[in-house]
Amino acid sequence: MNIYPWQKSSWNELFLDELKMPHAYIFYGTQTQEINKFVDELIKSILCSQPSEENFACGECQDCLWSKTNHPDLKIVESSFDKDENLNSDVLNVANAREVKKFLELTPHQANGKKIVAVYDAERLNISASNALLKTIEEPPNDCLIIFTVNDIANLLPTITSRCRLITFPKPSIKNAKEFLSQTDNIDLIDNLQLYNNAPLQLINEKEMLANTNIIINELKKGNKIDLMKINNIWLDNGLVWIINLVQKWAYELLLCKLSEGHNYFPNNIKAVQELALNADLSKLLTYQISLNTIKSYAKTTVNKEINLGTVMIEYKKIFNN
């Protein structure tokens, strides 16, 4: 099986009636890496001439061998630069949409096969490309399949989403996530699952960041006694957005504990969170959350990261009563 365990029900659902498969899908969810891998396997399966009973590609037939290089019935839509439009190379433009149309007009190489177009990370589509693809989706050629993957469904034209079958991906259960970490020799990461919203793949990909996470959390646990002199560029090794996300989760944990004695992200720091929440000014804590959202909104732009981080920490100290 080449999909993740928590995706199995979605996989089985797709193959309940292959004859009634729609001509266009949108696969969406927060974990884009997981979704793209799922779509990779789906495409291989549809192109395979000898799929298994569970509908996975055999990996050995001629079509599977072609899939590893350049299958004649598959088009992955890549970025291209359109000199008539002042666009960067990561945008999918109208030229890409025209290529899709031409490709789908060709006869499938396989007898009774499908021409497949995959648009990964479809939020890169500009408005011209979206409108051009919409026409193709509205009047699709026979024996075609168009697949979009996207992080947020709102990033696609509503007229496109209304003409595709929407497939959303649930997060793995806590049990699935823990089993996956154990089976991939990452059992030592289990205590950090809640910090990563129960997303084991993201946790594995960012496990080298955990050393910095612990350094920062140990400082935040000091409340108004935090030593601002210990805040240095190492804190920014993973970027301003990353550290703002971390501080937001910590501040939310304090707020949740103060309002309801609840906990979410930091199960190993419950005692420290309880003590800080007790001494936190609720009004200041709420204002701090708004401030963090504001900084996060422009954190990806060209800003002075050191100054913004310093501001975040100074304001953090002010939350707590002396």
> What tens digit of pLDDT does each residue of 147-179 get?
999 988 898 999 999 999 999 887 788 898 999
CATH code of the domain in which 301 resides: 1.20.272
Report the alpha-carbon distance of residue 1 to residue 246 in Å, rounded.
Answer: 34
Q: Give the phi and the psi of residue 310 in degrees, each rounded to 5.
A: -60, -40
pLDDT digits (tens, 9 = 90+) for 35-64: 888 999 999 999 998 999 899 999 899 999
Mark whether 105 and 45 lie in a shared domain: yes
Mark whether 152 and 98 lie in a shared domain: yes
Mark whether 266 and 135 lie in a shared domain: no
Report the alpha-carbon distance of residue 279 to residue 253 in Å, rounded.
Answer: 14
- Residues whose CB falls within 8 Å of the CB of residue 103, separated by 6 or more in sequence, listed in order: 75, 115, 117
CA distance from start to end of the chain: 57
65 within a domain of the structure (yes/no): yes
Q: Give the phi and the psi of residue 76 in degrees, each rounded to 5.
A: -95, 120
Mark whether 257 and 131 lie in a shared domain: no
Taking a C-beta distance cutoff of 8 angstroms, is the pair 240, 217 a contact?
A: no
Mark whether 213 and 137 lie in a shared domain: no
pLDDT at residue 16, as a whole number: 81
Mark whether 308 and 215 lie in a shared domain: yes
Which residues does residue 76 pair with via DSSP β-bridges, in sequence order?
Answer: 118
- Which of 111, 144, 168 is a domain's end point? 168
196 within a domain of the structure (yes/no): no
Q: Give the phi and the psi of residue 50 in degrees, each rounded to 5.
A: -140, 60
200 within a domain of the structure (yes/no): no
pLDDT at residue 86, as a whole number: 44
Token pair in block for residue 219: 């400082």
187 within a domain of the structure (yes/no): no
Q: Give the phi and the psi of residue 12 in degrees, each rounded to 5.
A: -60, -35
CATH code of the domain in which 92 resides: 3.40.50.300
Q: Give the phi and the psi of residue 259 in degrees, each rounded to 5.
A: -80, -35
pLDDT at residue 13, as a whole number: 86
pLDDT at residue 19, as a whole number: 64
Burial class (CB in 10 A: 0-12, 13-18, 19+), 122: buried
Question: Residue 204's closest CA among 184, 233, 226?
Answer: 184
pTM: 0.72
pLDDT at residue 89, as a whole number: 52
Q: What share of the chain is helix, strand, coil (3-state, %, to 5)?
A: 55, 10, 35
Structural domain containing residue 89: 5-168
Token pair in block for residue 102: 């031409």
Report the alpha-carbon distance of residue 310 to residue 290 in Å, rounded.
Answer: 17
190 within a domain of the structure (yes/no): no
pLDDT at residue 106, as a whole number: 86
191 within a domain of the structure (yes/no): no
Report the alpha-carbon distance of residue 253 to residue 48 in Å, rounded.
Answer: 48
Mark whether 215 and 85 lie in a shared domain: no
- Which of 168, 194, 224 is a domain's end point? 168
pLDDT at residue 199, as a whole number: 87
Question: Residue 117's closest CA among 34, 42, 59, 10?
Answer: 42
pLDDT at residue 158, as a whole number: 93
Mark whether 23 and 164 lie in a shared domain: yes
Mark whether 19 and 144 lie in a shared domain: yes
185 within a domain of the structure (yes/no): no
Mark whether 261 and 308 lie in a shared domain: yes
Mark whether 62 and 113 lie in a shared domain: yes
70 within a domain of the structure (yes/no): yes
DSSP-based three-state secondary structure for 35 = helix
Mark whether 9 and 145 lie in a shared domain: yes
DSSP-based three-state secondary structure for 54 = coil
pLDDT at residue 111, as a whole number: 75
pLDDT at residue 79, as a whole number: 63
Residues of the chain scoring pLDDT < 70: 1, 17-19, 79-89, 322
- For the chain, what is the domain count? 2
